[in-house]
Amino acid sequence: MITVEQILNTNPFQTSKILGGAKGLHRNVSTVTVAEVPDAANWLRGGELVCTTAYFISKGIKYQMEWVESLVVNGAAALAIKTSRFLGEVPSSIIKIANQLNFPIIEIPTEVTWPNVIESVMNLLMDTQINILQRTEEVHNALISLVLENESVQVIANKISSLVGNPIIIEDARLNHISMSQNIIDKEKNNKFIEERLSPIFKEKIAYTDFYKNVLSSKTKETLELPLKSNIHVNTITVPILSNKMVYGFISVIAMNKKVSQFDLIILEHATTTLALQFMKQIIHERTLRTRTVSMINDLVNGRFGSDLVKEFYLNHNDWIKPVVMAVVELGGDTIIEESYDWDTSTEQLTEKIKYHLLNHFDNVFVGRSETSTLYVLAFFQVSMVSSAASTLGKELDFILSECKHQELIHSYFAGVGSTQNDLQQVGKSFNEALSAKSIAKSFQMKGPIVLYQDLGIHRIISMVHHREELSNFCNDFLADLVTHDNQNNDVLRETLYVYLQNGGNAHETAKRMFVHPNTIAYRLKKIQSVIKRDINSWEVRFTYLFALEAAEILDNPYALIGTE
Instruction: Give all strands of the β-sheet with 105-107 in edge-to-edge order.
Output: 17-20, 105-107, 78-81, 48-52, 31-34
The CATH number covering residue 366 comes to 3.30.70.270
Q: Are residues 247 and 372 in the same domain?
A: no
Q: Are residues 161 and 116 in the same domain?
A: no
Q: Are residues 345 and 264 in the same domain?
A: no
Average pLDDT over residues 21-40: 89
Q: Are residues 446 and 489 in the same domain?
A: no
d(CA 500, CA 522): 11
Answer with the residue of higher pLDDT: 176 or 565.
176
pLDDT(24) > 80: yes
Confidence of residue 188 (pLDDT cuts 50, 70, 90): low
Element (H, E) at 71: helix 61-73
pLDDT value at position 560?
A: 33
Q: Which domain holds residue 490?
A: 468-555
Sign of CA dihedral 328, 333, 339, 340: negative
| 71-75, 205-209, 341-345, 436-440: least confidently modelled range | 341-345
- Interior CA angle at 520 toward 517 and 521, to 5°? 95
Task: Confirm whether 294 is domain-assigned.
Answer: no
Neighbours of 184 (CB within 10 A): 21
Question: Rounded to the nearest 10 degrees, how much is the dihedral formed by the CA atoms of 319, 320, 324, 327?
Answer: 100
d(CA 40, CA 51): 11
Q: Are residues 480 and 448 in the same domain?
A: no
Q: Are residues 169 and 260 in the same domain?
A: yes
pLDDT value at position 157?
A: 92
Q: Are residues 475 and 448 in the same domain?
A: no
Task: Confirm whether 544 is domain-assigned.
Answer: yes
Average pLDDT over residues 319-339: 74
Task: Confirm whether 173 is domain-assigned.
Answer: yes
- Domains: count for the chain: 4
Average pLDDT over residues 27-47: 88
pLDDT value at position 462?
A: 65
pLDDT tens for each residue of 454-478: 887 666 666 656 667 777 888 888 8
Concatenating the DSSP letter of every residue in 286-330 gives HHHHHHHHHHHHHHHHTT-TTSHHHHHHHHH-GGGGS-EEEEEEE
Task: Confirm whether 299 is domain-assigned.
Answer: no
Percent with pLDDT over 90 in the chain: 39
Strand bridging mode 28-29 / 2-3: antiparallel
| Count of positions (residues) in the chain | 565
Average pLDDT over residues 503-525: 91
Average pLDDT over residues 194-223: 90
| 296-310, 337-351, 466-480, 510-524: least confidently modelled range | 337-351
Task: Confirm whether 184 is domain-assigned.
Answer: yes
pLDDT tens for each residue of 347-396: 677 888 899 999 999 999 999 887 668 899 999 999 999 999 999 999 99
Answer with the residue of higher pLDDT: 225 or 231.
225
The CATH number covering residue 481 comes to 1.10.10.2840
pLDDT(557) > 60: no
Tell me the β-bridge partners of 324.
380, 421
Average pLDDT over residues 311-330: 81
Percent with pLDDT over 70 in the chain: 89
Tell me the β-bridge partners of 32.
49
- Tell me which residue of 425, 468, 165, 456 sits closest to 303, measured CA to CA: 425
d(CA 297, CA 328): 12
The dihedrals phi and psi of 43, each to the nearest 5 degrees, come to -100, 5
SS (H, E, C) 433-471: HHHHHHHHHHHCHHHCCEEEHHHCCHHHHHHCCCCHHHH
pLDDT(93) > 70: yes
Task: Confirm whether 6 is domain-assigned.
Answer: yes
Q: Are residues 425 and 479 in the same domain?
A: no
Q: What is the mean pLDDT of the chain?
A: 85
pLDDT value at position 563?
A: 33
Neighbours of 326 (CB within 10 A): 30
Q: Are residues 328 and 451 in the same domain?
A: yes
Task: Confirm whether 310 is domain-assigned.
Answer: no
pLDDT value at position 409?
A: 77
- Quick check: helix, strand or coil at residue 414? strand
pLDDT(108) > 50: yes
The CATH number covering residue 185 comes to 3.30.450.40
Task: Confirm whether 51 is domain-assigned.
Answer: yes
pLDDT tens for each residue of 130-144: 887 888 888 888 888
d(CA 547, CA 144): 65
Concatenating the DSSP letter of every residue in 215-243 gives HHHH-----EEEEETTEEEEEEEEEEEEE
Q: Are residues 161 and 259 in the same domain?
A: yes
The CATH number covering residue 115 comes to 3.40.1390.20
- 516's CB contacts (< 8 A; 6+ apart) are none
Q: Are residues 446 and 475 in the same domain?
A: no
Q: Are residues 452 and 473 in the same domain?
A: no
